[in-house]
A = this chain, B = another copy of it.
Amino acid sequence: MAHSPIQDYLEALHARFRDLKSGALADYIPDLSLADPEWFGICIATPDGYVYEVGDCRQPFTIQSVSKPLTYGMALERHGEARVLEKIGVEPSGDAFNAISLHPKNGTPLNPLINAGAIAACSLVTGDSMAQKTAAILETFSRYAGRPLDIDHTVYQSESATGHRNRAIGWMLRNFSVIEDDPTATLEAYFQQCSIRVTCRDLAIMSATLANGGINPVTGQRAIPEKFVANVLSVMATCGMYDASGDWMYNTGLPAKSGVGGGIMAVQPGRLGIAVFSPRLDQQGNSVRGLAVCHALTADLGLHMFDASQRTIPAIRRATTRRSVKSNQRRSQAANDYLLSVGKKLRLLQLHGALTFASIEPVIRLLTKETDTCDVFILNLKLVPRIDHAAASFLAGIRQKVSALGKLIVFSEAGACWQNLIDTGVEREAFFSDDDFALEHGENRILADHFPDPAERGQTPLANCDLFQGLGAQELALMDQLLGSRAYAKGQTIITAGQASNELYVLTAGAAMVSITTQEGIARLDAFSSGATFGEVAFLDRSPRSANVTALTPVSCRVLTRADFDKLDSIAPLVKISLLSNLAGRLTTMLRQNGRELASLK
């Protein structure tokens, strides 16, 4: 295993700022001044739960104000946005962290990240007593961190013993009926909230939880409903760093929150969770090394939210037509030729990435335009991890419009998108389990006008079977004599993967398919009806069978054994030559189709 250059970088960053010793420990609570001023940790957590740590990432300290956006999220979860906005504004105050900053008209705190707003948010958390509120807060914070957190009772005692200003704020909120009962329980719960012990690693995972839409990426547990994540990040973006918030946004471009315990949590939404811990603070109460590290990180790593490199990726990963892809349903030469000649009438679009308005817009535009030349669109959604309501609605909308023109849009491998598409009114018939079946459906639709459903072919005489093309009557009689006969019931296995390949099959009645079992289920590789040859590849190269063949209807087969095939060399070499030529023709057809498909995929 190589040493990670990312780990190297973070270690160098740590070394670069280790000697930055300006600032001072918080002293407004005696216990905070007992911290070791040299503590210094940098931690990054990814949205898939990987964690990089350098320095003192496992040293516990108190969360302090970093708790504020999290309890604001709890208030939103309990009461909804409208009710919370009545109690707490979302405007930056321009004032220091402990300013009272109430709205001049109605006494509501200007935002939830100043003390007044945070105390108001704490009052909105579930629970009537301090103990109930604290339990609820600990439970939620522990989900964010992915481990059970606890309270530093010494710090709590300190906070409570010295929290006169916060008590004044609490009673002022009571005065304006922002808090509607005795604020004492809320205040004590707020002191406890600030005294929760976390590590730098915890803060990074909490941050990654917000980056990840509210789901802790390490444990998979949800800490906050997805719909409130944007609210929390918004107030962090505009008010997270007290009266230096504009400057912070300008320089780092990340929603963030600092605490006087020395922690800073910064979120790159959808991308990264970042935490820095170092207890020496500047005059605004932000960690000196924390600010310096975050500035350097954003500059070095290009994390600024408004950086042009954060551009979206178009949702269309690949667009192909029936010229380069086909279903695994074998068709007559005439039908195949027709499908190739009108190949543009069927398009397969593979989409990828999360489907949002911006990423689906080019898809809608293409579908809107291409209805002029195309009859059937298949949208493969295998690589789409999620689709939002807007994108689903527009897909449902364009599907209706295209239907009204007599054309078709269907989906294959819709997986994670299925429910949202169904919810916006897409019919169940529009979904196929894989491209093969969707392609077959589309091909059938295109063929319908020109190749009306052939009646069941019934028994196909040997003369009409692919393998025996070009043989004379006598030669056919010889083959008839050599070939064994077998019959299979619908659903019965004709060939089992792994078996030796000593027989070559010709289907003389019914239909069958070739399939393999994959992690995702059964994949159909080939489907055919009477007249077709099968089992030829393994037969020719003498390898074990690579797939199963199953009867789709009652089936009759004729079977040529390898012994008889070899015997033809002496008894009827010209027949052998014909069979080999016909088999070679089938192989070259398959190769050319594969070639087209490979070229379209690359």
Contacts and interface: CB of A to CB of B under 8 A. Distances in A.
Interface of A: 1-6, 8-9, 46-48, 50, 89-94, 111, 212-214, 226, 229-231, 233-235, 237-239, 243-247, 249-250, 253, 255, 268-272, 300-314, 317, 352-354, 356-358, 361-362, 364-365, 367-369, 371-372, 386, 388-391, 393-394, 397-398, 401-402, 404-405, 537, 540-541, 546, 569, 573-574, 576-577, 580-581, 583-585, 587-592, 594-595, 597-598, 601-602
A214 to B, nearest CB: 7
A89 to B, nearest CB: 7
Nearest to A4: B368
A545 to B, nearest CB: 13
Given A2-B367, A94-B93, A541 B306 contact: no
Contacts of A581: 540, 580
Contacts of A546: 592
22 contacts: A2-B371, A4-B398, A5-B393, A5-B397, A89-B246, A91-B243, A91-B246, A111-B246, A213-B308, A237-B249, A238-B238, A255-B306, A271-B358, A302-B356, A309-B356, A309-B388, A537-B588, A540-B581, A584-B584, A584-B587, A591-B594, A598-B598
B307 A230 contact: yes
A213 B308 CA distance: 5
Secondary structure at the A interface, as helix, strand, loop or mixed, is helix
Contact of A577 (B356, B367, B389, B577): B577
Contacts of A391: 302
Contact of A537 (B214, B249, B591, B598): B591
Nearest to A354: B309
B249 A234 contact: yes
Contacts of A576: 573, 577
B238 A311 contact: no
Contacts of A595: 594
Contacts of A573: 573-574, 576-577
Contacts of A588: 537, 540-541, 587
Contacts of A388: 302, 307, 309
Contacts of A311: 47, 212-213, 269-271, 354
A13 to B, nearest CB: 12
Given A238-B246, A253-B234, A2 B401 contact: yes
Contacts of A1: 368-369, 371-372
B574 A569 contact: yes
Contacts of A243: 91
Contacts of A309: 213, 354, 356, 386, 388
A3 B368 contact: yes
A591 B547 CA distance: 14
Residue from A371, A537, A587 whose CB has the most chain B CB atoms within 10 Å: A587
A129 to B, nearest CB: 31
Contacts of A367: 2
Residue from A91, A239, A540 whose CB has the most chain B CB atoms within 10 Å: A91
A7 to B, nearest CB: 8
Residue from A238, A304, A309, A576 whose CB has the most chain B CB atoms within 10 Å: A309
Given A253-B230, A269-B305, A364 B5 contact: yes
A269 B309 CA distance: 10
Given A246-B92, A390-B300, A584-B584, A214 B356 contact: no
B594 A364 contact: no
A239 B212 CA distance: 27
Contacts of A91: 94, 243-247
A202 B405 CA distance: 34
Residue from A46, A310, A352, A369 whose CB has the most chain B CB atoms within 10 Å: A310
